[in-house]
Amino acid sequence: MAQKQNLQQIVVLGGGYAGVLAAIRLARQTQKLPIKIILVDASDGMVERIRLHQLATGQQSNKIPYQKLLKNTSIQFLQGFVTAIKPDQKRIIIKENQTAKELSYDRLIYALGSSVDMHSVSGVAKHSYNVGSYEMAIALQQRLAKNPNSHLLICGGGLSGIETATEMAEAYPKLKITLLTSDSFGSQLSQLGQKYLEHTFQKRNILIKDKSKVIEVKAQQVVLSDGSKVDFDFCLWTANFTVPKIACESGLEVNKIGQILVDKTLRSISHPEIYGVGDAAIIEPTAEIHLRMSCASALPMGAHAADNVLAELQNSQPEAFRFGYGGRCVSLGRYDALIQMVKYDDTPREKIITGRLGAIIKEFICRYTIWSLNLERLGWFPYRWPQPNTQKKAILTSVSQHSTT
């Protein structure tokens, strides 16, 4: 009875890389404590977002049912769409089968991820596809299968644009592909990395138009800021990511794109009983920990938030998050990849690994993201991540950048 009175309800919003790891890790560590963990997601399965460009070319579906991911844990899964948080009452509102439902929490982990920004540039939502969501990747897959000989225009030269262009070129050799980017092509890489990419694109007949800013997308044509136009049969938009507006609309402190602002311990700076992790969160600038939207940082953030929630439940102080990048791993189809080694602060070093070996490393890292969830769940190997004094482990958990260029 006494236990029941102290029962703490931890709600995790979002079952992506960050949310699932946070829930599983917390469940494993709190088996003997009076704690209820509820994971909420709009979908019935976790989407391996880092493979959505593969799904778009018709490769195996990559949605893992939560039932399987959470097997033999005490976590309760609730399928529903989160519409609001009422932080003053510590409640959230979820839409489940058209019915609004309220759920209370003692601690909340906000892990609602990101999506491709289809609204900042005129016409994008109406006239283009993206590979940011499962549904869109399937729609693109169907379109490609119907029109394998047409002209695909990819807008966005970030790593998702690059990965998608090369994946498509390999799967559909007759597809004409043009990639537009507002920056210099490959500017996020070292000189060696850039050269390798240029060479790969040339080999695969992918046309690059860099320093080209799209200001409008029309049916079968984009308009650039210098007034010129580029025609296409279909368009794929990979530039700019955005996040759900829920934190902002619920009165939490957020940055200008709506990411929940958290302190070094990953607690919301306005509502410390809420942790923010993954793409939907950003550490306040004064903390000087710079993270980009990536699976590489979402998993460590999820794990760290779980550890801090546990610390608080045991009346200890939450600890500061420590993290260093190790590399950016860019797939270039199934048989080639570019592993760009970086310093802890994510600046590129003049060191790359390419070709078959690169592809093997990249595939290992993609698989490791899911293995790490299972290893954590089974308690065989709790998740670890590169921290500034453990550089050698960096490559194991580092996956590439796919964010806002």
Ligand X SMILES: Cc1cc2nc3c(=O)[nH]c(=O)nc-3n(C[C@H](O)[C@H](O)[C@H](O)COP(=O)(O)OP(=O)(O)OC[C@H]3O[C@@H](n4cnc5c(N)ncnc54)[C@H](O)[C@@H]3O)c2cc1C
Report the nearest approach of ligand X to the CB of residue 227 (Å).
Answer: 31
Nearest to ligand X of 313, 329 (CB atom): 329
Q: Does residue 332 belong to the site contacting ligand X (CB under 6 A)?
A: no
* CA distances in angstroms from 207 to 157, 164, 166, 179, listed in the order given: 12, 14, 11, 6
Q: Judge contact between 325 and 397, C-beta under 8 A.
A: no
Work out whether 53 is an interface residue with ligand X (CB under 6 A): yes
- CA contacts within 13 A on the Cβ side of 2: 0
Q: What mask, x for binding ligand X by CB under 6 A, covers residues 283 to 322? A: ----------xxxx-x------------------------
Rg (CA), the chain: 21
Does 278 bind ligand X (CB under 6 A)? Our answer is yes
Question: Does 19 sit near ligand X (CB under 6 A)?
Answer: yes
Q: Binding residue for ligand X (CB under 6 A) from 39, 154, 306, 399?
A: 399
Binding to ligand X by CB under 6 A, coded x per residue (else -) over 338-377, reads ----------------------------------------
Cα atoms in the 13 Å half-sphere on the side-chain side of 120:
14
Q: Between vectors from CA 150 to CA 405 and to CA 56, what angle results, nearest 5°?
A: 55
129 binds ligand X (CB under 6 A): no
CA torsion sign for 317, 320, 321, 323 is negative
Determine if 254 is a binding residue for ligand X (CB under 6 A): no
Kindly tell me which residue out of 132, 157, 276, 300 binds ligand X, with binding defined by CB under 6 A: 132
State which H helix or E strand residue 142 sits in.
helix 134-146
Q: Point out which span in 41-49, 63-71, 168-176, 349-357 binds ligand X (CB under 6 A).
A: 41-49
**Residue 14's closest CA among 275, 271, 250?**
275
Asked if 160 touches ligand X (CB under 6 A), the answer is yes
The Cα–Cα gap between 375 and 382 comes to: 7
Largest Cα–Cα distance of the chain, in whole Å?
72
82 near ligand X, rule: CB under 6 A: yes
76 binds ligand X (CB under 6 A): no
Q: Which residues contact 133 (CB under 8 A, 6 or more apart)?
A: 47, 52, 115, 116
Cβ-contact 157, 179 below 8 angstroms: yes
Q: Is 236 in the site for ligand X (CB under 6 A)?
A: no
Interaction of residue 52 with ligand X, rule CB under 6 A: yes
Backbone angles phi, psi at 151, to 5 degrees: -105, 115
Q: How far apart are CA 299 and CA 295, in angstroms?
A: 6
The C-alpha atoms of residue 212 and residue 218 are separated, in whole angstroms, by 16
Q: Is there binding between residue 171 and ligand X (CB under 6 A)?
A: no
CA–CA separation, 103 and 95 (whole Å): 11
Q: Of 176-184, 274-282, 341-349, 371-379, which segment contacts ligand X by CB under 6 A?
A: 274-282
- The residues, any chain, with a CB within 8 Å of residue 242's CB and separated by 6 or more, are 114, 115, 116, 117, 119, 120, 257, 258
Binding-site member from 16, 161, 193, 276 for ligand X (CB under 6 A):
16
Residue of the chain from 27, 28, 29, 49 that contacts ligand X (CB under 6 A): 49
The residues pairing with 77 across neighbouring beta strands, listed in sequence order, are 39
CA distance 336 to 342: 19
Residue 394 contacts ligand X per CB under 6 A: no
Among 69, 124, 131, 252, binds ligand X (CB under 6 A): 131
Residue least distant from ligand X (Cβ): 16
Q: How far is the CB of 19 from ligand X (least distance, A)?
A: 6
> Which one of 34-42, 98-106, 318-326, 334-342 is the stretch in contact with ligand X (CB under 6 A)?
34-42
* Site for ligand X, residues 99 to 118, rule: CB under 6 A: 111-114
CB closer to ligand X, 244 vs 326: 244
Q: Which is nearer to ligand X, 201 or 237 (CB)?
A: 237
Which residue number, 92 or 223, has a Cβ lying nearer to ligand X? 92
* Residues at the contact surface with ligand X, assessed by CB under 6 A: 14-19, 40-43, 47, 49-50, 52-53, 81-82, 111-114, 131-132, 160, 244, 278-280, 293-296, 298, 399-400, 402
